């Protein structure tokens, strides 16, 4: 697919937290709902596991490998080894992610003139917060803009850049204003993330355009922080030439399936 005008559809799921899912039926319902769409990509923005245990990673791998579209995935703070494994946490923080998912998930891809870039925002020195190597990220963005037919960039990571002021799940990236200006200057039009366990959307104006900040709620875990139903949710995002549509889909426990509960449409 070489032209955004033909339409590009992705799913954005996050915070699966295998090891602390609400129930097995949610995982089945999520698989069935994702299978309903003709998706070009699925972005998984971290926290595949609850405590980075092998059995949790095996469940995460089994589920993600069963999905048909290509996957772009990044790790979250729950995916790095816990504090009671200090050596592994500090020296091999991405080893389990690579071991269980590295053979089939992508860290970046270009579809329809849009580059999707996966960024590891975890920091083993922090409890839940994140950091970004902004210099390395900007260099990746510049290479893509110069070497391929990329017109827009979507940055995919676990931690939020934008402070939604919801006073939950601390861990916003430091030096936010400086970072977001660099991203916008170098073609970033959207940031997909998780971590907050809430479905949130904000459009921020910058000196170089605008950035859509899109947070996916937890898709399957019992650790929802939503203030109202549905407790579990994910996003289906449709890109067109100058427009983006974000459909928020939530789990209905009475019908035991996911369904659309809100649609956000914006120019971009």
Q: Each residue of 137-159: pLDDT tens digit?
A: 999 999 999 877 898 999 999 99
Give the pLDDT score at 2: 42
CA 92 to each of CA 29, 85, 98, 213: distance values in angstroms, whole numbers, following the listed order: 34, 10, 10, 30
In a domain, 1, yes or no: no
Residues of the chain with pLDDT under 70: 1-6, 167-172
pTM: 0.95
Structural domain harbouring 77: 6-267
Q: How many CA atoms lie within 13 A of 161 on its CB side?
A: 29
CATH of the domain at 43: 3.60.21.10
Sign of the alpha-carbon torsion through 22, 24, 27, 29: negative
CA 239 to each of CA 15, 30, 95, 183, 202: distance values in angstroms, whole numbers, following the listed order: 23, 22, 34, 19, 17
Give the pLDDT score at 37: 97
Distance CA 257, CA 254 (A): 8
Q: pLDDT digits over 199-248, tens only?
A: 999 999 988 999 999 999 999 999 999 999 999 999 999 999 889 999 99
Short-list 68, 21, 22, 60, CA closest to 42: 68
Give the pLDDT score at 114: 95
Number of domains in the chain: 1
In a domain, 170, yes or no: yes
């Amino acid at each position: 697919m070489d032209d955004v005008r033909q339409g590009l559809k992705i799913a954005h799921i996050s915070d699966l937290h295998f090891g602390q899912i609400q129930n097995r039926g949610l995982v089945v319902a999520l698989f069935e709902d994702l299978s309903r769409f003709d998706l070009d990509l699925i972005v998984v923005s971290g926290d595949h596991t609850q405590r980075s245990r092998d059995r949790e990673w095996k469940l995460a791998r089994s589920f993600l490998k069963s999905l048909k579209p290509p996957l772009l995935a990044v790790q979250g703070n729950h995916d790095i080894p816990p504090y009671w494994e200090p050596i592994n946490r500090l020296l091999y923080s991405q080893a389990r992610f690579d071991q269980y998912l590295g053979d089939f998930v992508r860290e970046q891809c270009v579809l329809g003139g849009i580059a999707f870039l996966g960024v590891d925002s975890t920091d083993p020195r922090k409890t839940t917060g994140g950091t970004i190597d902004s210099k390395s990220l900007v260099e990746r963005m510049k290479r893509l803009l110069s070497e391929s037919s990329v017109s827009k960039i979507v940055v995919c990571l676990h931690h939020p850049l934008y402070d939604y002021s919801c006073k939950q799940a601390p861990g916003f990236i430091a030096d936010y204003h400086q970072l977001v200006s660099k991203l916008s200057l170098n073609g970033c039009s959207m940031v997909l993330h998780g971590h907050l366990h809430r479905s949130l959307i904000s459009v921020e104006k910058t000196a170089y355009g605008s950035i859509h900040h899109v947070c996916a709620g937890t898709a399957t875990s019992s650790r929802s922080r939503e203030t109202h139903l549905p407790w579990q949710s994910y996003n289906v995002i449709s890109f067109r030439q100058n427009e983006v549509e974000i459909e928020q889909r939530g789990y209905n426990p009475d019908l035991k399936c996911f369904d659309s509960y809100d649609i956000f449409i914006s120019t971009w």
